[in-house]
Each structure stands twice: as C-alpha cells, then as structure tokens.
Amino acid sequence: MEQWSEETIAAFRKTLLKWYDENKRDLPWRRDHDPYHVWVSEIMLQQTQVNTVIPYYERFMSMFPTINDLAAAKPEQLLKAWEGLGYYSRARNLQRAAQEIVDDRNGEWPTTAAGLQELTGIGPYTAGAIASIAFGEPVAAVDGNAFRVFGRLLMIDADITKPATRQLFAETIDQIIDPQRPGDFNQAIMDLGSSYMTAKNPDVAHSPVKAFDRSYETGHVLDYPVKTAKPRPVPVDYVALVIHTPAGYLMTKRPSTGLLANLWTFPLVKVSDLLKDDEQETDLMDVDIVSRAEQAFETETEIPVSLALIGGRAVTHTFTHLKWQIRLVSAELSTVPDISLFAGEIVAESAFDQYPMPVVQQKLWRRWQAASKK
C-alpha cells in the first residue's frame, strides 16, 4: 500500500477539489446541505444508479417535503412512492429513522457520523456522507466509489468483501480528506468513481488525479480494488397466477417481513412446493406444474380455475442472493368468485396505482400484456 506525504496529500486535495468545482454534477440533492435531502438521496442511491434516482427523489420530495411529513406518512403511501426502486426495507427504515428524529429527538439531527449511526438504517457510509456534507465533519464516506478510487490510487491490496477492510479504508481516507471541505471531498470521490475511475473501462489516462494513481503508473488499474467473487444467486422457480375476473385481477399482499414485504403481486406459487416425495423439479413437465398449481390454488381458496401456461421465456428477477424465474399461467373467470378464503383482493387495473407493486410484478404485468395482445 502506497503511503503519501503531507505534501502529496495537500496537492491531491487541491487537484481533486479544483476538478470538482469545475466539473461537479448538477444533482437536485446537492443544491443545499439539508441533512434530510442528503439522507434521502444517499439511501435511494444504494443499489441504484444516479439517473434512475433523480425522478424518484424529486417525486419523493414533492410528496414528503420535510422529515415530519415522512414520519407521518401512511405505510402504503410510502411504499407507493418507493415503487420501482427495490430493496423496500430502505423505505421502511427511512420512515423509522424519521420518526426517531421527530418523536425521540424533538426534530434534532445528530451531527456526527457516530451519532447518526444510532438511527435505524443508517450505516457507516451513509453516516459519513450526511455528517461530512450537511455538518462539515471531516469523516470518510466509504462506498464502492471510495473503494475503487483509493484502492487504485494507493494500491490497497486488502479484500473489500471483508468487514475489517472498510475500517482500513476509512482510517486511510480520514488522513487524506480535506478538513475544510469534507463534504465536497467525499462528493468529488463519488463523481470521480462514476466517471474516470469506473469499475469497467475506466478512462484513467484522462483522470484529473492520474498523477497520484499508483495502479496507473504500474499498469495494474483493473487489479484494484481487491475483491473476492460473490457466489452466484441461487435460482428459485415460481409460477405466477394471472386470474382475471369481471371485477379485476386476483392480487395478493406479501407478508409483512421478508422479500417484498407488504407489496402486491399476482399469486405466486413456488415450484418446489408442488413436488411430491423424492421428486425433483426437473422431473416435472410443464403440464404437471400447471395442473398442480391449479390444484393447490383450488384447495387453498375453493375457487375453481382452469389454468393455461403462457409461453415464452420465464420472467427473471435477481435479488442479492436469489434469482427468481417465474412462468405465468392464466385463467379467465366469467363471474366474480367468492374470495373469502383467498389471501388477497380483486384489484381493477384502473386501481393499480393505489397498490404498491415491486419491479418483479411490473415485469409480470408487462409479460401478461404482451401475451394478451397476441
């Protein structure tokens, strides 16, 4: 790992911040230093690209302009505002932390990274970003960009998938961060990591800090940061039941905990739940899966249906550790059924915008629309 002198650190700060002042991205959450704005944007940016986040952020702020509005929001309204961003626990934790600030702290924000981490859903990176940008604390915000930028600049060979490595990077960056402009410094690293120092196809030759980049000098840019490969997501097969009635579609609400908590989807049946003793999923033909899904649904709900398989490739959706592969089956009912035993509701298409639905449901809906037009 490269060690910088005080003179090098001073030169790096000057070079980086000059570039940032001249080239920083015009993002809606950067137009002030309000901790609420910084916080919401940083939570949205987790696992999501900047261009995707901008319209969500602007809509979210129009719906919940203050932290008090967020704290008082109805859960269904909150999830609808978050719909499409995924990782819905982020939205629920946002509201819990808002309530902690409003109710338990009389609306007063913690002003240090350590204090911010006492709030629900705020980890070291988010705390560092808020503390440095909103409150001027000279503390690192260590995310993927910081790992990439400083891993390459200093040729840090510690594996970033290991928890101890985050602390190593934080301590290293804390020695380099500009104490007068810590928020701008951290945001400059974010911009640098998303432009010249990207994970793939970086443009290091034109990077404003290439003179400080040890990995560029030695021809080892793509060797950093050091990261062990993640295991592939485990495939899980489902069947989605698209059951249409004169009043609308049968929809179920996901459990209050676990993946996609409290969101609405077509009824989903895990294929592994349709297996008999000693059977493997590969033993089942499509006709077996359809007939068993039909039987399982009728047994549970007492709603008779005649399901038909919708052709084409399975709809896929990848979570961190799981890859859902979903085939659609459909049924058209001529009358509105008794749904007293069905764990859900009949929802008219015109009312879909009142029900928070995850991205995977939106994929299923698009597939169904395409199939119905054929």
Closest CA to 295 of 285, 304, 283, 284: 304
Rounded to whole angstroms, the Cα distance separating 304 from 334 reads: 11
Rounded to whole angstroms, the Cα distance separating 355 from 78 reads: 11
| Alpha-helix residue ranges (DSSP H) falling in the chain | 6-23, 35-45, 50-63, 67-72, 75-82, 89-99, 113-116, 124-135, 144-153, 163-176, 182-193, 214-218, 286-301, 359-372
DSSP for 47-81, please give it.
TS-HHHHHHHHHHHHHH--SHHHHHH--HHHHHHH
Rounded to whole angstroms, the Cα distance separating 208 from 220 reads: 18
**268-270 vs 234-245, strand pairing mode:** antiparallel
State the angle between helix axes of 6-23 and 182-193 in degrees (0 to 180), rounded to the nearest 10. Answer: 70
Rounded to whole angstroms, the Cα distance separating 360 from 317 reads: 6
Q: Are 138 and 178 in contact (CB under 8 A)?
A: yes
Rounded to whole angstroms, the Cα distance separating 223 from 214 reads: 12
Q: Is 42 a catalytic residue?
A: yes
Catalytic annotation, pick one of 2, 6, 22, 42: 42
Rounded to whole angstroms, the Cα distance separating 285 from 289 reads: 7
Q: Tokens 């993946």 sit at which residue?
A: 259
Residues designated catalytic: 42
